[in-house]
Chains A and B, each alone.
Chain A
Amino acid sequence: MLRIVKPKTKRAKRELEKRAPKLEENTKKLLLLHGTKVSSVLRGVLADLFHLRKAEGRAIKYSKKNDGVRPFEGGGETSLEFLSQKTDCSQFAFGSHSKKRPHNLVLGRMFDYHVYDMIEVGVERYKSLESLGGGKKASPQPGSKPCFAFIGEAFEARPEFRHLKELLVDLFRGEVIETLNLQGLDRVFLCTAAGDKVLFRHCAIRLKKSGSKVPRIELVEVGPSMDMVIRRHREPSDNLKKEAMRIMPKTTKKKVKNVSGDPLVGKVGRIYMPKQDVGEMALAKMKGLKRERREAAAARAVAADSGTEAAPSNSPKKQRTE
């Protein structure tokens, strides 16, 4: 026995429509959680990430301890997926601290409210937003579109570094825009691959006068800065990746050519004929036109003229055409 469950208020209906799968998707939301034990470093990291992403409500930070969330273990993702569904967040950052994995930060993404991919990173040498002066005049505007700069061969060669690069871009990119105001180049995320670590820096851009059209760039370090040590990572399975990377094929209405119409005349079409070589074409066989037959016919005609009592033609077949 099934019944239809409809939203009872128009507001609920609007919310459901916002969360529905669409062609052009909403900007992803980030869910910040922490586990059983958190260090002060991690608390700072999560707070800074929240500050960077909280524009337009694109980040949700939970302060309660989540014991049930264990990202890289078998059943430990159900709690994460439940929270992601409730808050409609497709990215998460989970921080936990243990002796085996100190200052552990798990960054991940969801596809259809199930875990798509994750990467576990250890945070070292962390400097917070406030300590670097990120909260003051020098800081970039909240919610502005950032630039990215990646340095290092590892970002291309090694799979986990490549994965981290993609994840960082996804985390901080924001909306995809078509028009950019050049004065609004505010911030840049600098990632350098040095050895086994990724040095993650966030800087504000200052545009200084230079002689030419292009201003001189100056970087002032603001915001969180940390050294990330990549621990574990989980890439998406191939068919899941294929499913997530699908783009809707463009179906434009096909223009019908060579058809015109008038209310008077009706529908008029144009047909273009290709060049035809009549000699080479495969037409119907006209056997009577063959040379032998023509000659035979001519001979008979001559014979018939000369002698009317002459015997009928030898050719067994009748002559139909002339």
Chain B
Amino acid sequence: MSSIASDYELDIGNLLIFHGRDPPPLSSSMTEEERDAEYLEQGRVLVQALADALFNMPSTLDKVGRLVNLPRPRMQLPREKPLPKPRPPTKWETFAQTKGIVKRKRSKLEFDEQNDEWRRRHGYKRVNDENDIPIIEAKVSDEPGVDPFLKLRADKKERVAKQEKNQLENLKRAAKIGGKGALPSTLQLAATSVPITGTKEPTKRLSKEIVGQAAGLASTATASIGKFDKKLPGEKPLKFAGKHRKFLPVVDGKGEEKQLLQDVLNKVISKNSHDILDVTKAVSMHNVEEEGKRAQQNRKQGGKKRKQSSRDARPSKKGGKLNHKVVSKSPGKSGSKGGTRALGKGKNTKRVNR
């Protein structure tokens, strides 16, 4: 037991005591509790030695107790973050250094001649505030259409934009030279998304739905529509499952392609030719009917107009059927017949008897 107390290493800064020798081996006949108690006793001796060292140090008395100054810890532990890197100087700072320009401190207050009082240099109710100028006198150099107040504001915006640009350039240079550690801790440089279409508008941030849709499309863009893909743990099933597209075989043995084309052709033709109603014929019939009516009206009204109307009533050159037709003298008949006669010119039609 005494051997422990004599041979130890102290690290007072860490309040650590280390006994580098193995304790005397305990007999195997001891139970676990006895062994524990034995180790506890050995520990107690060590802590007593540490307390001896601590209490014998020069101490100052305070109302809470005796205070002791601890030395620096001997055992060095690793840091959690790298050492802070100094910020590389900005463009202005390097220029000022070479030229020998020294920063001078400016006073917070300045005397305002116009208002005859002391005002602050920056901030609320400042000296020489641009926005507070009520009247701007026109100079000879001024262009007639330019609004000087707007110009002031535009100039200010320009200056601010230039300053922002310079700050960004300084940060980029600092990041390039010193790495990410050289940037100030509260700032980060992030990449903005470049507009694809070349417009100067900043692209909007994609919403969750759009990203989800895009992800869904991408995951189904496989041969098996993403059915057999390994899913990540926690990935939810897709909301929009894709369609399975069937493609024709390259070498056509059964005449499927021919059948397809035939179907398409039939569809196209049947659209233009109705089983029940022949549209073109109905239209031409209708036109002729209209002419007949007009001709009749003109005949009733008389001579001059007859000539006009006869010109008007001349049948149009459209459709061969109209050429055969003569402006009928019995409009009533043609009207009724025209309706029925339109029938029966389709493919499979029945002839309607008059």
Contact = CB atoms under 8 A, between A and B. Distances in A.
B295 to A, nearest CB: 76
B83 to A, nearest CB: 6
Contact of B73 (A13, A20, A176, A180): A176
Nearest to B39: A192
Interface of A: 1-7, 13, 16-17, 19-23, 25-26, 28, 67-68, 90, 109-112, 116, 125, 145-156, 165-166, 169-170, 173, 176-185, 188, 190, 192-194, 199, 201, 203, 205, 207, 213-219, 221, 236, 241, 243-248
Given A150-B19, A183-B64, A199-B39, A25 B81 contact: yes
B42 A151 contact: yes
B65 A182 contact: yes
Given A4-B189, A17-B186, A248-B83, A183 B167 contact: no
User: Does more than half of chain A's interface fall in helix, strand or loop, or is it mixed?
Assistant: mixed
Nearest to B189: A2
Contacts of B237: none
Interface in B16-53: 16-23, 32, 36, 39-40, 42-44, 46-48, 50-52
Contacts, number: 210
Given A4-B190, A192-B39, A203-B43, 7 more contacts: A3-B190, A26-B80, A146-B15, A152-B19, A169-B75, A181-B64, A219-B43
A112 B69 CA distance: 32
Interface in B71-118: 73, 75-84
B277 interface: no
B183 to A, nearest CB: 9
A240 to B, nearest CB: 9
B81 A217 contact: no
Contact of B50 (A112, A147, A169): A147
Contacts of B36: 199, 201
Interface of B: 4, 13-23, 32, 36, 39-40, 42-44, 46-48, 50-52, 54-56, 59, 62, 64-70, 73, 75-84, 167-168, 171-172, 181, 185-194, 233
By CB atoms of chain A within 10 A, which of B66, B69, B168, B185 has the most? Answer: B185
Nearest to B50: A147
A4 B78 contact: no
A21 B181 contact: yes
A205 B168 CA distance: 57
Nearest to A179: B67
Given A194-B39, A213-B55, A214-B56, A152 B189 contact: no
Nearest to B69: A179
B43 A188 contact: yes
A271 to B, nearest CB: 28
